[in-house]
Homo-oligomer: A and B are copies of this chain.
Amino acid sequence: MSFQKLDDLGRRLEAFSHALSILGVDEAVAMAVGGGEARAEAMSALAGMQHRQASAPEIADWIDAAEQEDLSDDQRAAVRELKRQYTNLTCLPVEFVEKQMRTRMRCEQLWRDLRAKKDWHSFEPALDGVIQLVREEAAMRADALKLAPYDALVEQYDPGTRVSDIAPVFNDLKSFLVDFVPRALGAQDNRLSKRPMKALSGSYPIERQRELGLAMMQAVGFDLTHGSLAVSHHPFCGGVPTDVRITTRYKTSEFLSSLMGVLHETGHALYEQNLPKEWAHWPLGKARGMAVHESQSLFVEKQIGRNPAFWAWALPVVERHLGEDWSIEDILPHVHHVERGLIRVDADEVTYPLHIILRFELEQDLVSGKLQTRDLPEAWDAKMQDYLGLSTIDSPGDGPMQDVHWPSGALGYFPSYSLGAMMAAQQWTSIAAAVPDIEADLSAGEFSRINAWRRDNIWSQGSRWSTPELMQRATGAALDATHFKRHLEARYG
C-alpha cells in the first residue's frame, strides 16, 4: 500500500529532522567552541541524506498511487500536504541548489564581517550574486507552482499567502501608521511629562530570573515534561514537539527583556507542543508556516504579555521572584515604550510593521529586477525617511545590511513577521468575542480558556489548511488590518 510507504518514509525523514533539530539546539546551548567544524560537517551530511531521501523520484509514484487508495479524510489531507511539499522540494535542479547554498554561505560569512565594518561597497557584489540566484529560483518555482515569481518565494514560508493578500493589508496599515506613530509618541510624551519613567534597574541574579521565567512559562501553558528553558546567545525556540527547547539570555541589571523574550518563545513553544501528535512524522503534523508561528509567539508576547490586565497578575509574580516592589504604573511605561529607530529587531510593536513594509516593497522590486542591488542604500533611505523620518544613507550597516535574511537568500520571509502580528490581533478579537470577560482571565493568571480556543483553532490544525484558510476558519474572516489598528489605538493612542 503506497500510503504505508509514505508513512515509513515519513518516519525516516522525521529521524533526520529530530537529529538536526537537537543538534542545532545543542550547538547553540552546549557545544564546545572547537566543536563547530565537525558539527557543521555532520549536519550538512545528514541534511544532504535527508534531502536525497525526501526528493527521490519514486515518491511521486507513491503519491499518485496513494491518491487512488481508500483513505480517511485525515490521510487524504496528509497526502495532499506531502505532495505540496514534495513539489516545492523537487522543483529546483540539484546543481542549482548546491550553487545557491555555496553563494549564500559565502555571502553570510562576508556579511558577519562587513556589517560590523559598515562596508557596503565590498558587500554589494556578494549580495548581488545571491539576489541574481533568487531571481532564477523565483522564476523556476513560479513555473512549477504556477504562481507569480515573488508569490512562489512567499509560498516557501507561508503557504497559500499571495501578494494580493498581503499588499492591501500592508497598505492599509502603512497609511494608518504614518499618522499613528507621531500620535503614539505624542501621547507617550504627554504621559511621561505627568509621570516620569522610573528605571527598573537593579541587581537580578540569573537563577532568580530563570525561576521567574519558568513560573511564567508554566502559567501560560508550557508543559515542562515536554520542554525546557536554557541559555543561548540569541533566544530561540527549537527542539521537537515532544521536547521543545526555548532559550533566553540574561542581564543581571535588567529583567524585562529576558522575561518578554521568554514569553515570546513560549508562544512558539505552545504551538509546537500542541500540534497533532499522530501526524508528527508527516508535513500535515507540522506548524503551518512562519506567519502563523509568529502569530503564536506575538500572541503570547504582545496580546497577552503586554496587556495591562496581564500585568495585574504578573507583577506580584515578578515581585515574588525578584523581591522588588513596583506599581503597575512603574512597569507599563517600559512594557509599552515606543521609539523610532533604525533597527528592526529593536523596534516596538507600533513602529515594527514599517520596517517590514519597507522590506516587503523593496524585495518585490529586487525580485522583479525593477530595483538593482547597487541602488539599495538610496532606495532604503528614501523609504526610511518617508515612513519613520530617519536617514540611513550614511550608515548602510543600519540600513540594507542590518538583517541576515537577504544575504542568506530568504526573500519572501519578512512579511511573515507583520502578518503574524496582525493575525494575533485578529485572533484576540475572536477569542474576546467567544469568551466573555477575557481580560479578567488575564488578571487572574488564568489562560485555559484562551488556550482552549487556540488549541482548537490553530494548534491542532497543523498544516491542514493554507494560511489564509486557517485564518478564515479560525476567525470567520480573511486577514484584515482593522483588528491590529484597533489594538494599537487602544494601547498607544
Interface residues of A (CB under 8 A from B): 11-12, 14-16, 18-19, 22-23, 25-26, 29-35, 37-39, 41-43, 45-46, 49, 223-228, 230, 240-245, 280
Q: Is the CB of B230 within 8 A of A34?
A: no
Instruction: Look across to chain B and name the residue whose beta carbon is closest to the beta carbon of A13.
Output: B45
User: Contacts A26-B22, A26-B26, A37-B242 given: A226-B32 contact, CB under 8 Å?
Assistant: yes
The interface residues of chain A, by DSSP majority, are classed as: helix
Please measure, in the bound complex, the distance between the C-alpha atom of A21 and the C-alpha atom of B33, giving whole angstroms: 17
Return 17 A-B CB contacts under 8 Å, by A number. A12-B49, A14-B45, A15-B45, A15-B49, A16-B46, A18-B23, A18-B42, A19-B42, A22-B22, A23-B23, A25-B26, A30-B230, A32-B227, A32-B242, A35-B226, A35-B240, A38-B241
Scoring A12, A14, A30 by chain B CB atoms within 10 A of each residue's CB, the highest score goes to A30
Q: Which residues of B contact A31 (CB under 8 A)?
A: 243
Please measure, in the bound complex, the distance between the C-alpha atom of A34 and the C-alpha atom of B227, giving whole angstroms: 8
Q: Which residues of B contact A49 (CB under 8 A)?
A: 12, 15, 49
**Min CB gap A268→B, angstroms:** 16
Q: Is the CB of A41 within 8 A of B228?
A: no
Q: Is the CB of B32 within 8 A of A224?
A: yes
Q: Which residues of B contact A225 (CB under 8 A)?
A: 32-34
Contact partner, A19, options B23, B30, B230, B242, Cβ 8 Å: B23
Q: Which residues of B contact A29 (CB under 8 A)?
A: 30
Please measure, in the bound complex, the distance between the C-alpha atom of A243 and the C-alpha atom of B39, giving whole angstroms: 9
Contact partner, A23, options B14, B22, B280, Cβ 8 Å: B22
User: Contacts A38-B280, A240-B35, A242-B34 given: A15-B226 contact, CB under 8 Å?
Assistant: no
Q: Which residues of B contact A46 (CB under 8 A)?
A: 15-16, 19
Q: Is the CB of A18 within 8 A of B39?
A: yes
Please measure, in the bound complex, the distance between the C-alpha atom of A46 and the C-alpha atom of B19, giving whole angstroms: 9
Q: Which residues of B contact A23 (CB under 8 A)?
A: 18-19, 22-23
* 6 more CB-based (< 8 A) A-B contacts, given A30-B245, A34-B243, A38-B243: A15-B45, A18-B42, A19-B42, A26-B30, A32-B244, A38-B280
Q: Which residues of B contact A227 (CB under 8 A)?
A: 32
Q: Which residues of B contact A33 (CB under 8 A)?
A: 225
**Min CB gap A477→B, angstroms:** 36
Please measure, in the bound complex, the distance between the C-alpha atom of A105 and the C-alpha atom of B38, giving whole angstroms: 32
Please measure, in the bound complex, the distance between the C-alpha atom of A13 and the C-alpha atom of B35, giving whole angstroms: 18
Contact partner, A226, options B18, B34, B42, Cβ 8 Å: B34
Q: Which residues of B contact A223 (CB under 8 A)?
A: 34
Instruction: Look across to chain B and name the residue whose beta carbon is closest to the beta carbon of A11.
Output: B45
User: Contacts A35-B226, A46-B19, A225-B34 given: A41-B11 contact, CB under 8 Å?
Assistant: yes
List 7 A-B pairs, minimum CB-CB distance, nearest first. A35-B243, A15-B45, A18-B42, A34-B226, A34-B225, A19-B19, A38-B242
Q: Which residues of B contact A242 (CB under 8 A)?
A: 32, 34-35, 37-39
Instruction: Look across to chain B and name the residue whose beta carbon is closest to the beta carbon of A18.
Output: B42
**Min CB gap A27→B, angstroms:** 9
Scoring A32, A39, A46 by chain B CB atoms within 10 A of each residue's CB, the highest score goes to A32
Please measure, in the bound complex, the distance between the C-alpha atom of A257 and the C-alpha atom of B97, giving whole angstroms: 53
Instruction: Look across to chain B and name the residue whose beta carbon is closest to the beta carbon of A280.
Output: B38
Please measure, in the bound complex, the distance between the C-alpha atom of A362 and the C-alpha atom of B2, giving whole angstroms: 51
Instruction: Look across to chain B and name the residue whose beta carbon is closest to the beta carbon of A273.
Output: B34
Q: Which residues of B contact A19 (CB under 8 A)?
A: 19, 23, 42, 46
Please measure, in the bound complex, the distance between the C-alpha atom of A26 and the C-alpha atom of B45, giving whole angstroms: 20
